[in-house]
Amino acid sequence: MRNRREFLTGASSVAVTLAALGWARPARAAACPICKTTSLLLPLSGTFFHPRDPCVQAGENVALAGDVHVVTKVGQGFVVDLHLNMAGVDGTGQTSGSLYIGTGSNKFIGIQFPSEPCAPNPIRANFTLETTNGCASVPLPLTAQLCFAADGTLLPESTIVVGGVG
């Protein structure tokens, strides 16, 4: 009985040691020569027309400024995962003087981009324009035109504009 116990103790020690050392073949990620993650702050500026509502009887223009934080992950074949986040976007209403703050984030997964640097491929995203005067928020549409280097790096020539592209 004692020999059997010693054998099992020794065998289990060897098994634990081999498992800890990785005797099993490690799993490997598929090779992706151009997989690239980039993070940039892109400037946003432009004028948004706040529609009529009980707080702003005639509506008003709001000159916006700030940044949009853009994170891209480019994979095989220029398939892109894209994350957009408001970063200090605000503006003042030209009629009411009210402060407006851009809020929100958007995520787009698996977008096929052309591999040319600034090929037209606008991304339209809706954020929220919050008021600080207690009135309701309104949708804030933005359009991103992204430019990529051949290695998948997002380039600072990319743009974010208020509204859409016609």
Residue 107's nearest CA partner among 71, 140, 139, 141 is 71
| Predicted confidence (pLDDT) per residue in 98-139, tens digit | 899 999 999 999 999 887 778 888 999 999 999 888 888 899
Mean pLDDT of 82-104: 93
Rounded Cα–Cα distance for residues 39 and 154 (Å): 8
16-20, 60-64, 107-111: least confidently modelled range: 16-20
The domain spans of the chain are 36-162
The model's pTM: 0.76
Per-residue model confidence (pLDDT) at position 16: 44
